[in-house]
Amino acid sequence: MNKIARSIIVICLFFSACRNGNETKSDSSVADVKDFHTLSNADSIILKHLELDIKVDFDRKQISGNATWLIDNKHELKTLKLDTYDMEIDSVLVDGKLAAFKLDSTVKYLGSALEIPIGPDSRYITVYYKTGKDAIALQWLDPQQTHDKKHSFLYTQSESIYARSWIPCADGPGIRFTYRARVEVPKGLMALMSARNPQYVNDSGIYHFGMEIPVPAYLMALAVGDINFSKIDDRTGVYAEPGMIEKARYEFEDVGKMVSTAEKLYGPYRWGRYDVLVLPPGFPIGGMENPRLTFCTPTIIAGDRSLVNLVAHELAHSWSGNLVTNATWNDFWLNEGFTNYFERRITEAMMGETFIEMSWAQSYEDLQIAVNELGKDNKDTWLKLDLKGRDPDDGLTDIAYEKGSLFLKLIEQTVGRERMDSFLRKYFDEHAFKTITTEEFLAYMDKNLIKGDTAVQNKINIKAWVYGPGIPQNCPHIFPQRFVVVDSAIKSFIAGKPVDKQTASAWSTYEWVHFLRNMPKPLSAAQMKRLDDNYKFTKTGNSEIADVWFVMSIASDYKAAFAAMDKFLSSVGRRKFLEPLYTEMMKTTNGKKMAEELYLKYKMNYHPLAQASIDKIILGK
């Protein structure tokens, strides 16, 4: 079929899409603020809907196909600009007619703008394209890099600005659109997206997807592989490789309950289904809140449900982030700080107050670490960031997560929980499917919560938090009851007294991490051995504990842990774990050698994003 005929079909598809779709919501969804991380001009031209038609080629490690955008050129501009990154553009059609396009030169971090000449009435823009070798959102896995080691696997990670490396799009968090997709994959494999998803592999290898709720490009996601589904309840379930599905199903038993717990706090879950996909171990992050289908690392499958709070976090993004979205990456704390706060509220409702106190205490510790690393006067420790001309991932620090969530905790403590909760619920309702800047949030909070009450204003001191560095003086610092026991266990261990294994057997991940983090450093090899003999840290199946333990093992040159650490580094691609390990190794000459050898061996198992982070640590670039 020729291109013109295909695009006429695409245009027909549009009419049905728009009838079923949600035009009014997407109409008003472009943020009214300059986003420095998109080269598109979607602030002037509305991109309402995307029809994506792509083929996934594992031999070439390439996605190819076309993306058709339904636009509204309301200001009658002469050019539409889209974001692309390392992409080959074959041709462009405007309303079915070939158009002369121009691919601009590359801008650091941002890629190249694709310029397309349009008229005032242009409606359908089709871009035929192929992804490049440096498509940073994509990780192509050979069978041996998967859990089951039988089939190839592909997944995307689009946040923050990588959707443009696999879809020519307007790639800013403030630009929302609906989408439908047709995805062709090798027969026998399953394809999943951040959309309505299949539950079984089909014979044709062709899958159709729909997302009727407008979403920003950073929430576009695709995974292709040998994937099974297992139901949790009527609206939740889990996807994983066949060899992982049962363990994953066991681990996520409480996910259905989590969704209803979240709803009781801040209103209805508005996305239909909530499923979780467990990815192969190279996934560079813990989790990603792709709408309807959270992507997560297998490192949370500990066998004892001890790390499921990560799912609570990604689920919470269904409100903070996916429903109400940060307008630009400078407002990132509105996504992550709110989500961390909300995650802890869900976990508190399910696990109790003494449990969540530990998470708040760790939050404070993590904030201290982040502020120390960045420097207490660094402007990157403000909640409102200034990432113009920079890599948006520079903002991906615990400032957004921990300073952000502790700010909300302070507001809660100041106005009382009841008022806080009705305010947040109203906030989500009134901003549903919209984007918001920090300033808009502050104005909204003033109008609806603080209401000019100067006593409350003075207690909170918004300026110090949002436009000020470091840890504000009034930062909540919670001392958990359950850490009292842990602190005395540390003292008694250091004093060489017998170890109380009975008490420790009931500890959660927070207690273990607190126990290890607060040991004096470095411990002697004999102390490390004594810890290991008693608590079997080298063999732990809990990745959070393993990571802290391996960092200590490097610092103390505790060689008995190195084989297990080697294995951990060979498969785990989660940046949160890799970074501290490689950083610790780089501190000594021997360690440097070890880091270089390990990285050379295992680099290929890491996602391009994780590789970029480790390159920085090892090569300093």
Residues with a catalytic annotation lie at 314, 401
Contact partner at residue 151 from Zn ion, ligand BES, none, CB < 5 to 8 Å by partner kind = none
Residue 244 interacting with ligand BES (CB under 6 A):
no
Contact 408, 338 (CB under 8 A): yes
Positions 367 through 406 that interact with ligand BES (CB under 6 A): 396, 401
d(CA 174, CA 171): 9
Q: Which stretch binds ligand BES (CB under 6 A): 79-87, 188-196, 253-261, 287-295?
A: 287-295
Residue 164 interacting with ligand BES (CB under 6 A):
no
Query: Phi and psi (nearest 5°) for 35?
Result: -105, 115
Residue 251 interacting with ligand BES (CB under 6 A):
no
The nearest distance, CB 336 to Zn ion, in angstroms, is 5
Give the count of beta carbons closer than 10 Å to the beta carbon of residue 285: 20
Instruction: Give whichever of 385 and 528 is closer to ligand BES, judged by the CB atom.
Output: 385
SS3 451: coil
One residue of 63, 87, 116, 285 binding ligand BES per CB under 6 A? 285
The nearest distance, CB 459 to ligand BES, in angstroms, is 28
d(CA 231, CA 133): 36
Instruction: Give whichever of 362 and 381 is closer to ligand BES, judged by the CB atom.
Output: 362
d(CA 611, CA 56): 23
- Residue 131 bridge partners (DSSP): 87
The nearest distance, CB 231 to Zn ion, in angstroms, is 26
Residue 281 interacting with ligand BES (CB under 6 A):
no
Positions 321 through 340 that interact with ligand BES (CB under 6 A): 336
Instruction: Give whichever of 192 and 288 is closer to ligand BES, judged by the CB atom.
Output: 288
Structure tokens at 138: 């994509």
Residue 159 interacting with ligand BES (CB under 6 A):
yes
One residue of 168, 286, 298, 573 binding ligand BES per CB under 6 A? 286
Residue 293 interacting with ligand BES (CB under 6 A):
no
- Which residue has 């309301």 as its token pair? 74
Residue 180 interacting with ligand BES (CB under 6 A):
no
The nearest distance, CB 407 to ligand BES, in angstroms, is 16
C-alpha distances in Å from residue 276, one per residue of 256, 289, 591: 11, 9, 37
Q: Which stretch binds ligand BES (CB under 6 A): 308-316, 550-558, 562-570, 585-593?
A: 308-316
Residue 226 interacting with ligand BES (CB under 6 A):
no
DSSP states of 471-501 as a string? --TT------HHHHHHHHHHHHHHTTPPP-H
C-alpha distances in Å from residue 332, one per residue of 101, 189, 313, 399: 33, 35, 15, 10
C-alpha distances in Å from residue 524, one per residue of 339, 490, 499, 587: 39, 15, 17, 17
Query: Nearest to residue 582, comparing CAs of 560, 558, 550?
Result: 550
- Residues near Zn ion (CB under 5 A) are 336, 339
Please report, as ranges, the residues that interact with ligand BES according to CB under 6 A: 159-160, 285-289, 310, 313-314, 317, 336, 396, 401, 576
